[in-house]
Amino acid sequence: MFTRNESFSAFLYKFPLTSFFIITQILVWAFFALPLKDAPYWFSALDGYNAAIAHGEWWRLATPVFLHANFSHLFFNTISIILFAPALEEMLGKAKFILLYIGSAILANAATFMIQPLEYSHVGASGAIFGLFGCYLFMALFRKNQITRANAQVLLIILALSFLTSFFSPSTNVTAHFFGLVSGFGFSSVLIKKEAFAPYSFYSGGTRRQSLNWNKKNLLWTAVLLLALLGIISRFF
């Protein structure tokens, strides 16, 4: 579930929304990395600055999801989206997936606005990513027919590590992480129905050639998953 075995072009075709979110945040980061005179001004007009939100700049509840503080921030959030978003886009459908991803981000940013001081400012897709975690957590607890036990165990370990290490970095928006998780969990109680179906059937089947290629691709994505975990653990140091 948390490994990929399709080609890049197949990934773009099968998961257009996930691809859109990834490509958009990469392009936005690349734009602001350019040596443009007004780039800092434009960046500050889109980040989650609480004082500006209090003065009516409500777009800041959504735009921070596409902004990142540095390349490391962008890289590990992108890896997380690649690993955890595709299965949910396929399972939920496009409309529900957008609601889960963007809705969790907005509610996480709204909670940050209400809880953190006015001078607080933040960027990143972490609120949306923890919304995905909240969806998986809901399935692990209440829709067990839709997630295998092994995948649920992997998810819970990653979730625990991600959430606990949030407290070890002063720049981490713990509020967004927590309320993103809660929002994703809450959305899922409405979005995910109880009907039984074969989980992840969209990964089954395929030709013999696809089967032969699976091991190599699976090894690649396993390495990516380990790299993401390394990034999480590195916050301790």
pLDDT tens for residues 176-230?
Answer: 999 999 999 999 999 998 764 444 444 444 444 444 444 545 544 555 555 555 5
**What tokens were used for 231?**
């990034």
Count of structural domains, the chain: 1
Q: Does the pLDDT value for residue 53 go beyond 70?
A: yes
Cα separation, 184 vs 145, whole angstroms: 19
Range of the domain at 226: 8-236
Domain-located, residue 131 = yes
> Cα torsion at 16, 18, 23, 24 (round to 10°)?
100
Cα separation, 215 vs 5, whole angstroms: 8
Question: Which CATH number characterizes residue 116's domain?
Answer: 1.20.1540.10
Report long-range pairs for 88-91 (Cβ below 8 Å, ≥24 apart): 88/132, 88/135, 88/136, 89/15, 89/17, 89/18, 90/14, 90/15, 90/202, 91/146, 91/192
Domain-located, residue 231 = yes
Three-state DSSP state, 9 = helix
Q: What is the pLDDT of residues 55-64, one digit of tens each?
A: 999 999 999 9
Domain-located, residue 61 = yes
156 conformational bin, left if phi > 0, alpha if psi -120 to 50, beta if neither: alpha
80, 122, 177, 183: the catalytic one is 177
| 73 annotated active-site | no
Domain-located, residue 3 = no
Contact status, residue 107 vs residue 183, Cβ threshold 8 Å: yes
126, 162, 183, 188: the catalytic one is 126
What is the residue type of 184? G
| 166 annotated active-site | no
Domain-located, residue 150 = yes
